[in-house]
């Protein structure tokens, strides 16, 4: 699967440009399957707010936890005294090309919103993927900021949830996500590409995409699917 010739890209910007022009999420998922990484898709109910949204960037994982009051003076954790916990710090830490990807909470409230989108866009972030709801849907759609969630639900996280850490490994629907993994999502789902598989997975996907164009042309010219698969090994 690995291409031993000259690399097809030199940096993330070049890779993401090729991916946006030639790839879609299913292709990369297929290659990860071939590599033995069989459980890299987030749950299918995580969807883009707009079906045309694509998210592609490096993971900045955020750990959320349920709470039951906005701030508490009676406990032992300083985080409990801060409304939203470390959410503002997590948001401000975003770097260009990163994806705010959040998990750990119950699906009772929104984990992302319009003002967060505005700040993330200013920082050059690539999108947000949350294991829960988002809100301010109209505002997010007007901004065109790629947000993937369970959908729109206005109930606020203020008295219900706090960010307790960020830049740490998380799990999202059973998928382990580390800082720097690639998050790649479109209308068919969100895929986590482990950072140590990126070169092999995307090289294979690009080769497959270019091969599929050859297969498509053969099918259009009347070749049978049996013959096409036997000849090209792609379908």
Q: Is residue 235 predicted with pLDDT exceeding 80?
A: no
Band of pLDDT at residue 136, cut at 50, 70 and 90: very high
Residues 6+ apart with CB under 8 A from 6: none
Band of pLDDT at residue 216, cut at 50, 70 and 90: confident
pTM: 0.92
Per-residue pLDDT tens for 87-107? 999 999 999 999 999 999 999
Compute the chain's Rg from CA coordinates. 20
Residue predicted with more confidence, 116 or 210 = 116
Write out the two tokens for 150: 């369970």
Q: DSSP 3-state assignment of 85?
A: strand
Per-residue pLDDT tens for 161-184? 999 999 999 999 999 999 999 999
Q: Put residue 86 in one of left, alpha, beta given phi > 0 → left and psi -120 to 50 → alpha.
A: alpha
Residues 6+ apart with CB under 8 A from 162: 64, 65, 67, 79, 80, 82, 84, 85, 86, 87
Q: Is residue 2 predicted with pLDDT exceeding 80?
A: no
pLDDT at 3: 46
Domains of the chain: 15-37+197-232 (no CATH), 41-193 (3.50.30.40)
Listed residue (80, 78, 45) closest to 66, CA to CA: 80
pLDDT at 45: 98
Write out the two tokens for 194: 């482990």
**CA atoms of 138 and 115, how far apart (whole Å):** 12
CB 129 within 8 A of CB 100: yes
Band of pLDDT at residue 5, cut at 50, 70 and 90: low
Q: DSSP 3-state assignment of 58?
A: strand
Helix/strand/coil percent split, the chain, to 5:
35, 25, 40
Residue predicted with more confidence, 212 or 224 = 224
pLDDT at 234: 75
Q: What are the residues facing 110 on neighbouring strands?
A: 133
Where would I find the H helices in the chain? 12-22, 25-34, 87-92, 114-122, 137-143, 198-220, 225-232
**CA atoms of 57 and 100, how far apart (whole Å):** 9
Per-residue pLDDT tens for 7-63? 899 999 999 999 999 999 999 999 999 999 999 999 999 999 999 999 999 999 999
Q: What mean pLDDT value characterizes the chain?
A: 95
Write out the two tokens for 155: 């109930």
Band of pLDDT at residue 232, cut at 50, 70 and 90: confident
């Amino acid at each position: 699967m690995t291409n031993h010739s000259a690399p097809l890209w030199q940096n993330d910007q070049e890779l993401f440009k090729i991916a946006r022009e030639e790839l879609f999420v299913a292709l990369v998922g297929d290659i990860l399957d071939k590599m033995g990484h069989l459980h890299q898709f987030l749950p299918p109910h995580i969807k883009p707010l707009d079906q045309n949204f694509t998210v592609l960037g490096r993971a900045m994982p955020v750990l959320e936890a349920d709470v039951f009051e906005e701030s508490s003076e009676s406990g032992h954790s300083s985080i409990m005294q801060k409304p939203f916990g470390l959410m503002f710090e997590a948001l401000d830490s975003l770097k260009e090309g990163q994806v705010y990807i959040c998990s750990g909470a119950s699906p009772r409230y929104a984990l992302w919103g319009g003002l967060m989108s505005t700040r993330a866009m200013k920082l050059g972030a690539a999108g947000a993927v949350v294991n829960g709801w988002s809100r301010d849907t109209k505002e997010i759609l007007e901004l065109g900021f790629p947000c993937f969630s369970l959908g729109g639900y206005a109930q606020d996280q203020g008295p219900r949830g706090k960010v307790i850490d960020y830049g740490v490994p998380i799990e999202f629907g059973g998928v382990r996500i580390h800082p720097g993994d690639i998050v790649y999502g479109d209308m068919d789902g969100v895929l986590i590409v482990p950072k140590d598989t990126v070169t092999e997975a995307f090289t294979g996907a690009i080769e497959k995409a270019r091969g599929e164009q050859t297969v498509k042309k053969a099918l259009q010219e009347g070749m049978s699917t049996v013959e096409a698969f036997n000849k090209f090994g792609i379908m």
